[in-house]
Chains A and B, each alone.
Chain A
Amino acid sequence: MWHRIVDWFGDFTDRVRFVREFNINAKRAFENGTVPFFLKAKVTLGNRRNRHSNSKFFGGFRIFASTGGSLQLEQCKVIGMIIISNQKLVRRMITNGFHSLEVFSNNSGDGFHTAITNLLEG
Chain B
Amino acid sequence: MKKLKVILIIICSSFFISSNSNDSISIDNSDSTSILKENINPEEYSVENNESKSIWLYISLILIILLFLKKYKNRSDRGTNNRNEEDKEDDDDWSEVFITLGNKDKAKKLYDKLIRKAHPDRFPNDEEKRKIAEKITQELGGAIKAFHLTKLQKLEKRINNELNV
Residues of A that sit less than 8 Å from B by CB = 17-18, 21-22, 24-26, 28-29, 34-35, 78-79, 81-83, 85-86, 88-89, 92
Asked if A25 contacts B104 (CB within 8 A), the reply is: no
Contact partner of B91 among A25, A78, A79, CB < 8 A?
A25
Stretch in contact with the other chain, from B43-51, B60-68, B93-101: B93-101
Residues of B that sit less than 8 Å from A by CB = 87, 90-91, 93-102, 104, 145-148
Among the interface residues B99, B100, B101, which one has the most CB atoms of the partner chain A within 10 A? B101
Nearest-Cβ distance from residue B82 to partner chain A, whole angstroms: 15
Asked if A35 contacts B102 (CB within 8 A), the reply is: yes
Asked if A86 contacts B93 (CB within 8 A), the reply is: yes
Contact partner of A85 among B91, B102, B145, CB < 8 A?
B145
Nearest-Cβ distance from residue A116 to partner chain B, whole angstroms: 15
Nearest-Cβ distance from residue A77 to partner chain B, whole angstroms: 11
Asked if A79 contacts B93 (CB within 8 A), the reply is: no
Asked if A29 contacts B147 (CB within 8 A), the reply is: no
> In the complex, what distance in Å separates the CA atom of A25 from the CA atom of B95?
6
Q: Is the interface of A mostly helix, strand, loop or mixed?
A: helix
> In the complex, what distance in Å separates the CA atom of A55 from the CA atom of B91?
23
Q: Is the interface of B mostly helix, strand, loop or mixed?
A: helix
Residue of B nearest to A84 (CB): B146
Asked if A85 contacts B146 (CB within 8 A), the reply is: yes
> In the complex, what distance in Å separates the CA atom of A88 from the CA atom of B89?
11
> In the complex, what distance in Å separates the CA atom of A34 from the CA atom of B101?
8
Asked if A85 contacts B90 (CB within 8 A), the reply is: no
Nearest-Cβ distance from residue B157 to partner chain A, whole angstroms: 21
Asked if A82 contacts B102 (CB within 8 A), the reply is: no
Asked if B97 contacts A89 (CB within 8 A), the reply is: yes
Asked if A34 contacts B99 (CB within 8 A), the reply is: yes
Residue of B nearest to A34 (CB): B102
Nearest-Cβ distance from residue A91 to partner chain B, whole angstroms: 10
> In the complex, what distance in Å separates the CA atom of A79 from the CA atom of B87?
23
Given that A78-B147, A85-B145, A85-B148 are known contacts, is A22 also in contact with B104, CB under 8 Å in the complex?
Answer: no
Contacts of A25 in B (CB 8 A): 91, 94-95, 97-98
Asked if B91 contacts A29 (CB within 8 A), the reply is: no
A-B contact pairs, 18 of them (CB 8 A): A18-B90, A21-B87, A21-B91, A21-B94, A24-B91, A25-B91, A25-B98, A26-B94, A29-B95, A34-B98, A34-B102, A81-B147, A82-B97, A82-B101, A85-B147, A85-B148, A86-B93, A89-B97
